[in-house]
Amino acid sequence: MTTHGNGDVRDENAAADALAEAPTHSWIDRYLHPRLVHGELRERHTARGIFIATLSALVALVGLLVVSVVEDQPNVVVLRVIGVALFAPILLGLRLGSLRFSTRYGSLAVFVVITGAVALSGGTHSKAQYLYTVIPFLAAVFDSVAMCVFWMGLSLIATAAFLVLDLYGFHFVSSTQSSRLIEISGFAVVLVTVLVVAISFARSRRTSYRRLREIARDLSDANGALADARAQAMRADRAKYTFLMRMNGDLQHSFDGVLGALDGLVRTLERSEHAEYAHMFRRSGTALWTMARSVAQYVESDDLSLASEQMAPRISLPEEPERPPLPRPQLESRPELH
């Protein structure tokens, strides 16, 4: 049984390929990817369910033909074949395509029960009973197993009421006319329902594929924006790395000149107090150069290991020596003028 055309097959394959190639490194992909795959599997499972239900209807058709040969009622079996082997399997197949466990097997049970009842029923009101019991298939499409049971109960009540009225002689029309009227009305309802369900199903599939393509396109745009942002960040990181590497060489030459000048200054100083200050500047410059070189090495190796050391600033700085008070200047005495 063909469930879609070549265009839909190409759309389905394109959507499946887009989902298979979608990366999963971002949170958008992790959120949307399972839902897209679920929708894709649901579409394929629906088509598979319709095919399986059609095969089961063919098996039921063979059983009905055997019963018709035994009962010698070819006209009745034609109507039953149209109802059971065409309308009911399509409606049931749509429900079999659902991923819900209870609804799937509940609809299958309803299919087996009604097929058996149609095959084994006989008498004047067998057509009316069949037409009333077809209603649960409609409930199987639009709702769940609970609605199937509800409509099955209404079918049994309607059939019982029809039999009771016929038993007490309330014949508004003849049995043949009533059966024919119920048969025509029932098949009209089933036919209209099948058309509505088929149109709704086709529209929903087109809408699903369109929505799937929109989501895949949005996902592709988001991945493109993410790749652009990542490339821009890598370019900025590369520029920072190049700047620090160049600054490392400039700092090295500058610190070498400053430290060399301090070494020469220490050797030329005679007073110990000035030499101590020069040594302090030398140690501070060496520590600053060591820190700058460590930063450059961290950027180059992308590995950072820090060691904590206790440091007391007052130990590094010498105490200010006590200076003797400066002598007060002596004012020269001037002669007084009389």
Mean pLDDT by 10 residues, the chain (338 residues): 43 51 50 53 51 52 56 53 49 46 49 50 45 48 48 53 64 52 51 59 71 81 85 81 71 71 68 68 74 69 59 54 54 49
> Are the C-beta atoms of residues 210 and 7 closer than 8 Å to each other?
no
Q: Which long-range contacts (CB under 8 A, 24 or more apart) does 16-25 make?
A: 16/40, 18/216, 18/220, 19/216, 22/216, 22/219, 22/223, 23/223
Distance (Å) of CA 130 to CA 88, 120, 283: 12, 11, 104
Predicted pLDDT at 189: 53
Looking at residue 243, its pLDDT comes to 73
146-to-103, 140, 153, 247 alpha-carbon distances in Å: 9, 9, 11, 77
61/290 Cα distance (integer angstroms): 92
pTM of the model: 0.30
Cα–Cα distance for residue pair 93/47, rounded to 1 Å: 8
Q: What is the largest CA-CA distance in the chain?
A: 171
The sign of the torsion formed by the CA atoms of 13, 210, 194, 146 equals positive
Specify the 3-state DSSP secondary structure of 319: coil
SS3 content of the chain, % helix, strand, coil (to 5): 80, 0, 20
Residue 331 CA to residue 325 CA, distance in Å, equals: 18
Q: Which two tokens stand for residue 94?
A: 């749509």
Alpha helix segments (H runs only) across 72-144: 74-82, 88-96, 101-120, 126-133, 135-142
Length reported for the chain: 338
Q: Pick from 134, 26, 41, 149: which is nearest to 90 by CA?
A: 134
Distance (Å, whole) CA 338 – CA 336? 6
Distant-in-sequence, close-in-space partners of 198: CB < 8 Å, separation ≥ 6 = 90
**167 near 201, Cβ under 8 Å?**
no
**E runs forming strands in the chain:** none
DSSP state of 281: H
CB atoms < 10 A from the CB of 267, how many?
9
CA distance 20 to 29: 12
Q: What is the structure's pLDDT at 14? A: 56
Q: Cα separation of 20 and 41, whole Å?
A: 13
For residues 48 and 65, is the Cβ–Cβ distance under 8 A?
no
SS3 state of residue 21: helix
What pLDDT, on a 0 to 100 scale, did the predictor assign at position 200? Answer: 64
